[in-house]
Structure 1
Amino acid sequence: ILVRWVEDQAMRREKARAEQRTDKRLARKHWQMFLIAAAGLLLMIYDEEKRWKKGDEFFYGVENIAPKVASSWTDFAMPLCNMLLLWRVCDLYVELSEKKRKRWQLQSRWDAFVNSSLKYKFVTEVAICLVQPVPWVVYSFSFPGDSWVRHLGLFMFLRVYMVSRIFKDSSLVYRMRHKAFRTGQLQSSSLSFMVTLRAELKRRPLAVVLTAITATVLIFTYAIYVIERQSLVNGDDPNIDTFVKAFWFVIVTLTTVGYGDTYPSTPKGYYPAMLEGFIAMVLTSVLVAVVIDKLTMTGDEKDMFEWVQGRLQQRKLRTAARWFIHAWLKHVFLLREERRARGGPVVPR
């Protein structure tokens, strides 16, 4: 029995080391994907602002109707960046399929990929990674939905989901799960993102919530600003025509205040505003819960507070007793003086 127990512990340790090596490889791949996606976002923002500001070259920026092909070096850089990101996504899912194959003891990685939910995640992720502004677009014609095509770059902000993987890899609970599994604290060595999110909200709630709020404010501010400023091309006077106004609108919506002084004036601006409203409800609820949790006393703090309150109450009672005794003695003294003046008995009965 002892030999079997030792062999079982050795197998557990070896399995944990193998999974830790896999986790390190996956963490490196996650960081690589995140950096490539961030580079693509920066290229998109640069291209968007350049096309908008250089009116002579691109003729009205986003609503370009010049009878020529509007191209620049970013039209080559962004597809290249996206292809590199797509390659890293495929490499990531090869690693995940191999991990599933070893866990389920299947014949090949393809069987693990097809027989799991990885195929749906892969298709969704590829679709998100392929979205980018259409390069080399000829703006000499119009068609239904052409303005949405010119705003395809804003959908690149969907790549922000990659932050969740970095967040999961950096979680202390996620990194310690192998040790918890060996000691019997966990039934399985795999943890979902929601488990790590709840754990991090308990460990460092303000950092998590403030990071989510900051990312939400920046993304929706830029998206609403880009969508709303296209009204300037048509000669309209949009309600949100500067980045500061868009920032003010996002902050007011996020805090569920809604003054109504600033609002989207184009139909396309309603969609990010509605999405931000739904996200605001979640973030506001989490922020309120975090603040309440921070202000709630622990057991030791409650005991200390009750002890201090008891001491304060005793002090108040002693002070009231001293004042009562002083008043009674003063009353007795005055009563004696009065009776002595009348010639009656000094001590009252």
Structure 2
Amino acid sequence: MQASPMSMPRGTASQHLRDSNAAERESTKEGQAGGTFRSKANVLSGQPDMEALAASLQARDCMNDNRMDPGLGSGFLPGEERVRQLTMRRQNCMWTFIFAILGVVLAVTDNEIRWDSLDDFYNVTKISFTLRVLVVTTTILTLYFLYKYYETLINLRRLSGIRLPPGVSISSLKGGGYWSQFLIDVLIMLPQPLPLLDVNVTIWNKGLGRASIYELNSILCCLMFVRFFYVPRFYGECISDLQSESTVALGRMNRVKIDESFILKYVIANSMQVVIVLTLLQIVMFAYMMMVFERVVDNGALQHFANCVWLTIITMTTVGYGDEFPTTLLGRMVSVMASIVAVVMLAITVNLVIAKLTLSRAESKVIAVMDKITLRKDLKHKAAVVIQRWIRAHKEYMEGERRGSTRGGYMMIPDFKSARRKNMDLRAQVLSNLPLLESINDFKETSDESFSNNLQTDVPELVGNLSSQLVQQEKRILELNKKAEEVNNLVAKLLAKKKQDTLQRSRA
């Protein structure tokens, strides 16, 4: 039994203190990650603080326990051991996903072979039995690699300085924060077709007035689709770096848990390709489950997979032509689940489309400059049209004046009128030209639009320039104040020195 630090003699405490300091220097040379077991400053300086001494002894015992753990590799430095454990974690995650999905493929194959060979049941029994044995084998291998995956997670926690019980147990899983996740993973792997389990299940279709008989293994085969829950983990571990040590550390700094839900949110919110793949995968899964639950109905149109895909698509797109519809209880439950999932995927798709079509700041600036150039060209064109029509109207008026007649609706200006009166009449007559007035109005509208556009562009730029100039002025003022303080301090020192020299001379 280890003695309490408070009850140790002075010599024993000093010895333990020297041992803890030596252990910490050794961990520093090895590059021990985490730094959670460093002693306090007063212990390093040799102060006999009992709390710091107890922390140092606990750190030494924890490091010794982790080094003696059989789950960790011997003969490796902590940095090398961490790299090895990270590589093993990725490999175990990859094999877990591969065998889990392989089990789904084998179960679907077995289910379809048994359904297509109902008339020749005895000839396919051996094939079906072999496929189900393979399904169970893949499940066992998946659980094995799942166990190794959590073993590497716990070893990484130990290397980061967390003291956990040896091996993979309930205590170590709870201590590492993986118990609930491990339990969910095991429950996901439980549904599967079993050999020699030829049991039929009768489900009464409430409201339809009849019952449907299913094979239990067919229902278990449909429940195996929950294994696609491993897709986000596989993407985060083996394809991207979303579950790397740096990402997890950054998440802990911001109190964000980097798990499957976070990876799914990140991928769905940033990748249209992933959303399309997930939508197609959901269509295939719901269509197959619909076919399995509806083909027990005699002469039903949903016995064919193509019709089930059609029904799933028009259900998920909320079209609902009504030409095909489920007639069993389980089929209707699948249709309801497809509708709920479709609402979520539709919202995600709309969000992604808006995000993709939203212009960036640089793109908006380019478009604004292009609009300004186009508006300037339009303004020049309309100004030229106004000038041309004004000249044409003035020319027509002057020709009529010279002929002394009224053409084109213009009235003669008597010769006895003054020059000012002539100019006023000329203005009135020229502005009575309707095409000229239309061109002037168009020019005014374009000019106002150009002015407002320039104002929207120039005002923020002007405000930004003024703000930057104010900041620079403030910096200059601070620098001047600092230099003024230095000058004042220098003057004060010179005055003090001069006063001191005067006193010394007066005493002499």
| TM > 0.5 fold call | yes
For normalisation by structure 1, the TM-score amounts to: 0.81
Within-5 A mapping of 1:12-91: 12=33, 19-58=82-121, 72-91=129-148
Deviation at 1:85, TM superposition (A): 1.8
> Does residue 105 of the first structure (1) align with residue 163 of the second (2)?
yes
Deviation at 1:21, TM superposition (A): 3.6
Structure 1 residues 295 and 152, CA, compared in 2 at 3 Å: closer, same or farther? same
2:17 aligns with none
2:220 aligns with 152
> Does residue 192 of the first structure (1) align with residue 259 of the second (2)?
yes
1:118 counterpart (156, 178, 182):
178
CA distances 1:85-115 after superposition (whole Å, capped 9, x unpaired) = 2222222222223333444223434332134
Q: Which has the higher contact order (CA 8 A, sep 6+)?
A: 1
Structure 1 residues 19 and 334, CA, compared in 2 at 3 Å: closer, same or farther? farther
Asked if the contact 2:248–2:258 (Cα under 8 Å) also holds between the matched residues in 1, the reply is: no
- Partner-residue secondary structure (3-state), 1:147: strand
CA distances 1:56-91 after superposition (whole Å, capped 9, x unpaired) = 2229x9xxxxxx999532132222222222222222
Within-5 A mapping of 1:198-209: 198-201=265-268, 203=270, 205-209=271-275
2:230 aligns with 162
Asked if the contact 1:70–1:136 (Cα under 8 Å) also holds between the matched residues in 2, the reply is: no
Aligned partners of 1:193, 1:89: CA distance in 2, in Å? 15
2:42 aligns with none
> Does residue 335 of the first structure (1) align with residue 397 of the second (2)?
yes
1:64 aligns with none
> Match for 1:191: what amino acid?
I
1:275 counterpart (331, 337, 343):
337
Deviation at 1:180, TM superposition (A): 9.3
CA distances 1:107-160 after superposition (whole Å, capped 9, x unpaired) = 434332134542332232222212112322345x77679726242111111111
> Match for 1:108: what amino acid?
P
Structure 1 residues 198 and 126, CA, compared in 2 at 3 Å: closer, same or farther? closer
> Match for 2:234: what amino acid?
I
Deviation at 1:267, TM superposition (A): 0.9
The gaps in structure 1 that reach 5 residues or longer are 62-67
Deviation at 1:316, TM superposition (A): 1.3
Deviation at 1:229, TM superposition (A): 0.8
Structure with higher Rg: it is: 2
Count of matched residue positions in the alignment of Structure 1 and Structure 2: 330
Deviation at 1:220, TM superposition (A): 1.1
Within-5 A mapping of 1:225-264: 225-232=291-298, 237-264=299-326
Structure 1 residues 138 and 185, CA, compared in 2 at 3 Å: closer, same or farther? closer
Deviation at 1:257, TM superposition (A): 2.5
Aligned partners of 2:301, 2:99: CA distance in 1, in Å? 35
> Match for 1:221: what amino acid?
A
Q: State which drifts further: 104-113 or 14-23.
A: 14-23
> Match for 2:142: what amino acid?
L
Asked if the contact 2:107–2:221 (Cα under 8 Å) also holds between the matched residues in 1, the reply is: yes
Asked if the contact 1:249–1:263 (Cα under 8 Å) also holds between the matched residues in 2, the reply is: yes
Deviation at 1:192, TM superposition (A): 3.0
Deviation at 1:283, TM superposition (A): 1.1
- Partner-residue secondary structure (3-state), 1:44: helix
Aligned partners of 2:136, 2:238: CA distance in 1, in Å? 30
Aligned partners of 1:8, 1:254: CA distance in 2, in Å? 60
Structure 1 residues 15 and 254, CA, compared in 2 at 3 Å: closer, same or farther? farther
Q: State the superposition RMSD in angstroms.
A: 3.5
Structure 1 residues 86 and 194, CA, compared in 2 at 3 Å: closer, same or farther? closer
Q: Percent identity?
A: 21
Q: State which drifts further: 68-77 or 40-49.
A: 68-77
1:127 aligns with 187
Structure 1 residues 90 and 282, CA, compared in 2 at 3 Å: closer, same or farther? same
CA distances 1:290-330 after superposition (whole Å, capped 9, x unpaired) = 11111000001001111111111111111111111111100
The gaps in structure 2 that reach 5 residues or longer are 1-24, 35-76, 205-212, 406-413, 424-508
Deviation at 1:287, TM superposition (A): 0.8
Aligned partners of 2:31, 2:134: CA distance in 1, in Å? 50
CA distances 1:258-303 after superposition (whole Å, capped 9, x unpaired) = 2322221111101222222221111111111111111000001001
Aligned partners of 1:181, 1:117: CA distance in 2, in Å? 15
Q: State which drifts further: 40-49 or 189-198.
A: 189-198
> Does residue 323 of the first structure (1) align with residue 385 of the second (2)?
yes
